[in-house]
Amino acid sequence: MRIFRKGAIGATFVALALVAAACGSGDDASGPKEGPEIVVSSFDFGESEILAEVYAQAMEANGYTVERQLRVGSREILKPALESGEVDFAPEYVGSALEVGFEQEPTSDTEATRDALIAAFEPKGVAVLDAAPAQDKNGIVVTAATADALSLTTTSDLAGQEGDLAFGGPPECPTRPRCLLGLQDLYGLSFAEFKALDVGGPLTVEALDGGEIDVALLFTTDGVIADRGFVLLEDDLGLQPAENIVPVIRQEILDAYGDELAKLINEVSAKITTEALTEMNRQAGIDLEDPDAIAAKWLADNGFGA
């Protein structure tokens, strides 16, 4: 079954207006490209939707026909959909894609981890394009009051104190090697309680801010961390691997369009920095702007728009 996003119509018109004349890679964007429709998808959280919109709008502005199936769910849902051809393109995270998707150990070396991901995806008919400079890792976050009361600056500082604390994160967190499972194995942390919330989203933020949980899993590029005065604890033992944004796309789509499509996507990726991604997340989480409009503005500001 196909999943369609019901976006705000007004915001969509704004997005289209901003990118309608986009030139992207400098290739002819004056008319539609001959080739198959590209189904662009994302994980079920805001940052992934924004990134999917960035790539989708860039493709559309350069003449590619795009269908959106956004916020389809976790990697356990999106990866099989990509491999089976239900969707064609998604923004991935290089370390998590390798570890969760293929049960291979990623490292802090972006290129080595990407090379391993390329080899893993190739038999599935999926290509891995260039990694963006931007990285978004799992972050362990507490309120400023908790950090002050327990003298917390690193994740290791939780040891011996976590038995009285409630941890909140995505439902799959207890079985993820970079979430609760890893926190227990590497840091020796066993929290008093786990509350299944959302994937670094508003449920987790409000639960932390309201005292329903004491420790939260958020994304390191989340603008709400600074806005709410939360404290991001240092991952001092290095639990998290490289997590650069890396687009993955079905090989048959690349074959249909040739090098032109890959070139465009790589040029977009090259300009997505960690700072830019954090700002886009801030616009979504704090300013409550629509992902369509956020993506359109970023594209225009970075030479892909009118």
Q: What's the CATH code of the domain at 219?
A: 3.40.190.120
Same domain membership, residue 126 and residue 203: no
pLDDT surpasses 70 at 232: yes
Instruction: Indicate if 217 and 188 belong to the same structural domain.
Output: yes
**pLDDT one-digit tens code per residue, 115-165:** 999 999 999 999 999 999 999 999 999 999 999 999 999 999 999 999 999
27 — pLDDT class (breaks 50, 70, 90): very low
- Cα–Cα distances in angstroms (integers) from residue 200 to residues 54, 89, 173, 236, in the given order: 20, 22, 11, 21
Task: Give the model's pLDDT for residue 199.
Answer: 87
What are the residue ranges of helices labelled H in the chain?
9-19, 46-61, 75-84, 94-102, 110-121, 144-150, 180-187, 202-209, 224-227, 251-257, 259-270, 274-285, 291-301
Residue 174 lies in a domain: yes
Question: Would you call 159 helix, strand, or coil by DSSP?
Answer: coil
- Give one word for 35, left, alpha or beta, with left for phi > 0 and alpha for psi -120 to 50: left
Band of residue 31 on the pLDDT scale cut at 50, 70, 90? confident
Task: Tell me whether residue 4 is in a domain.
Answer: no
Per the domain annotation, does 281 fall within a domain? yes
Alpha-carbon distance values, 212 to 192, 234, 285 (Å): 13, 23, 20
pLDDT score for 13? 33
Cα torsion for 60, 62, 64, 70, to the nearest 10°?
Answer: -30
* DSSP-derived secondary structure for 85-127: TS--EEEEEHHHHHHHHH-----S-HHHHHHHHHHHHGGGTEE
178 with 250, same domain: the answer is: no
Q: In Å, how far are 39, 160, 214, 250 from 47, measured between CA atoms?
A: 18, 34, 24, 22
Whether 210 shows a pLDDT value over 70: the answer reads yes
Q: What is the per-residue pLDDT for 30?
A: 54
Separation of alpha carbons 94 and 101, rounded Å: 10
**With left for phi above 0 and alpha for psi between -120 and 50, is residue 107 left, alpha or beta?**
beta
| pLDDT of residue 8 exceeding 90 | no
Residue of 109, 116, 129, 126 whose CA lies nearest to 243: 109
Judgement on whether residues 155 and 130 belong to the same structural domain of the protein:
no
Predicted confidence band of residue 17 (pLDDT cuts 50, 70, 90): very low
Whether residue 109 is contained in a domain is answered as yes
Range of the domain at 144: 138-232
Q: What is the mean pLDDT of residues 205-216?
A: 98
Last residue of a domain, one of 186, 207, 232: 232
Would you give the DSSP letter of residue 196? E
- Residue after which a domain boundary falls, among 206, 232, 258: 232
d(CA 21, CA 39): 22
249 inside domain: yes
Residue ending a domain, choose from 199, 232, 265: 232
170 and 253 co-located in one domain: no
Task: Answer yes or no: is pLDDT of 306 > 90.
Answer: no
Length of the chain: 306
- Using the predicted structure, report yes or no on whether residue 292 has a pLDDT greater than 90: yes
CATH of the domain at 296: 3.40.190.10
**What is the crossing angle of helices 94-102 and 75-84, to 10°?**
80
Q: What's residue 305's pLDDT? A: 66
If you average pLDDT over every residue of the chain, what do you get?
90
Q: Is residue 2 part of a domain?
A: no
Judge if 28 and 39 occupy the same domain.
Answer: yes
Percent of all residues in the chain with a pLDDT value above 70, rounded to a whole number: 90
- Specify the number of domains making up the chain: 2
CA dist., res. 115 & res. 118, Å (int): 5
Does a structural domain hold residue 23?
A: yes
Mark whether 131 and 273 lie in a shared domain.
Answer: yes
Average pLDDT for residues 90-101, to the nearest whole number?
A: 96
Tokens matching residue 11: 């915001």
Domain check: are 126 and 152 in the same one?
no
Output the furthest CA–CA distance in the chain (Å, rounded): 63
| Pair 166, 118 in one domain | no
